């Protein structure tokens, strides 16, 4: 049986300044995904 292909759907990619953790104030690139099924209680993306 062949292995299933795993893919991620990217909703948005943007540059910003990190606002939390030990990397606060550092430039970073965020990749926002779509169709996440984890439903974390801290997620700020309703359409994910």
In which band, very low, low, confident or very high, does the pLDDT at 46 lie, cut at 50, 70 and 90?
A: low
Question: Scanning the structure block, which residue is given the tokens 């169709």?
Answer: 35
User: Could you tell me which residue, 39 or 23, shows the higher pLDDT?
Assistant: 23
C-alpha 31/C-alpha 21 separation (Å) is 17
Is pLDDT at 40 greater than 90 in this prediction?
Answer: no
39 Cβ neighbours under 8 A, 6+ residues apart: none
Are 8 and 33 in contact by the 8 Å Cβ rule? The answer is yes
Is pLDDT at 28 greater than 80 in this prediction?
Answer: yes
Domain ranges across the chain:
1-38
| pLDDT of the residue at 47 | 63
Are 31 and 9 in contact by the 8 Å Cβ rule? The answer is no
Question: Scanning the structure block, which residue is given the tokens 């439903």?
Answer: 39
**What percent of the chain shows pLDDT beyond 90?**
33
User: Mind listing the pLDDT tens digit for each residue in 4-27?
Assistant: 788 888 889 999 999 988 999 999
Q: Is 16 helix (H, G, I), strand (E, B) or coil?
A: strand
């Amino acid at each position: 049986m062949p292995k299933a292909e795993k893919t991620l759907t990217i909703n948005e990619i943007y540059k910003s300044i990190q606002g939390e953790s030990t990397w606060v104030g550092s430039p970073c690139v965020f990749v926002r995904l779509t169709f996440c099924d984890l439903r974390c209680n801290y997620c700020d993306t309703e359409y994910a």
